[in-house]
Amino acid sequence: MGAAPRISVVIPCYNAAATIEDTIESVQAQTEGDWEMFVVDDGSSDATADVVRSIAERDDRITLLSQSNSGVAAARNAGIARSTAPLIGFVDADDYWFPTFLEEMADVFDRRSDVGVLFSRAEIRDPQGHPTGAVSTFSTDPIDLDQLILTNPAATCSTLMVRTATFDDVGCFATELLRCEDQHWMIKAHLGGWSIEGLDRILVGYRTSPGGLSADLDGMLESWEAMVDLLGEETLGDSVDTARAEHLMYLARRALRLRRHPRVVLDYLRRAVRADARVPLRKMGAVPSALLRRVRSDAHAGAGVHSDPGPDRAESRPTVDGERAAA
């Protein structure tokens, strides 16, 4: 057996026949060519496996793994289990990497032995792969527990590269979670003492999907709460309620963008008030005036004697659909 490659690439996929070839080709076009790839077909019912198999026949760095439908976390874990490199990069089957992603990310790990998890920025694309003009935002603030509870700073798993020893230490992705599995894992890595950092370079194309998981707002909230339950609120500390309110405000903005009924928006806003009334009071600029008047009344009634906690750290947060936080 030859020497292990520099990087293992893991691609989970489900019914991705229309996009998986472009994703794989973006890896093949990398300026860093010392990699192995595990494409994990999570029980697809379309031609995904056939497409991957055809490509793998022409490139022996690529291995197709197949499993019954078990979810994206289980698919990523299957790829991690087969990886032999000291670094693992993840890319979803409808996203793609810009040509220097592997080289630039791996070079940071070579220079910084203290870094366990690294993420880049992403360019947001429409379902056809065309640029929308939006990019995931980036903060130069150190990644701490409060920020990780509030949001996923990586925006999407496709921006992540991880030192394999980190998985050996804190375990893999939680298969109990339909969403938030990457955010949950990053919190575990942080609690385990691993440094998480961002690289201020746009190196990933992230393709949005109007019918994807991020369109299921109640499901997103359910998964966030499941993540908190799995970690334990006592582990996360006093910032949980503020993070819950921030997440509910994000869902309210998403509901507006998706043109959901105003009652849906108002419900998220009122729940944000109950979680931490200071948050909606700071963020009303994103809410139409009629809803604004109704929820301001609720917020003022519930705000009590809370003082303003200062600048809103969420203004620079990335989100999985590229939406910038409203002022």
pLDDT tens digit sequence for 257-291 = 778 888 898 899 999 999 998 888 876 655 555 55
| Contacting residues for 267 by C-beta, under 8 A, at least 6 apart | none
For residue 40, the domain's CATH number is 3.90.550.10
CA distance 85 to 32: 14
Confidence band, pLDDT 50/70/90 cuts, at residue 214 = low
Same-domain check for residues 81 and 139: yes
Same-domain check for residues 285 and 194: no
pLDDT reported for residue 283: 66
Confidence band, pLDDT 50/70/90 cuts, at residue 300 = low
Last residue of a domain, one of 207, 235, 259: 207
pLDDT at 198 over 90: yes
pLDDT reported for residue 308: 29
Last residue of a domain, one of 184, 207, 230: 207
Amino acid at position 195, single letter:
S
* 312 in any annotated domain: yes
Using DSSP, state whether 272 is helix, strand or coil: helix
pLDDT reported for residue 220: 87
pLDDT digits (tens, 9 = 90+) for 54-106: 999 999 999 999 999 999 999 999 999 999 999 999 999 999 999 999 999 99
Q: What is the mean pLDDT of the chain?
A: 85
The residues facing 162 across adjacent strands are 88, 117
Total tally of structural domains belonging to the chain: 2
DSSP result, 69-136: S--HHHHHHHHHHH--SSEEEE--TT-EE-TTHHHHHHHHHHH-TTEEEEEEEEEEE-TTS-EEEEE-
User: How many helices and strands (H and E) does the chain possess?
Assistant: 13, 9
pTM of the entire predicted model: 0.82
Lowest average pLDDT, out of 18-27, 59-68, 142-151, 198-207, goes to: 142-151
Same-domain check for residues 202 and 240: no
pLDDT reported for residue 287: 54
CA distance 326 to 299: 18
Using DSSP, state whether 38 is helix, strand or coil: strand
pLDDT reported for residue 317: 33
* 325 in any annotated domain: no
Over residues 143-164, the mean pLDDT reads: 91
pLDDT reported for residue 67: 97
**How many other CB atoms are found less than 10 A from the CB of residue 312?**
17
CA distance 199 to 241: 29
Structural domain for 21, as ranges: 7-207
Same-domain check for residues 235 and 187: no
Of residues 216 and 268, which shows the higher confidence score? 268
pLDDT reported for residue 296: 53
Over residues 149-158, the mean pLDDT reads: 88
* 324 in any annotated domain: no
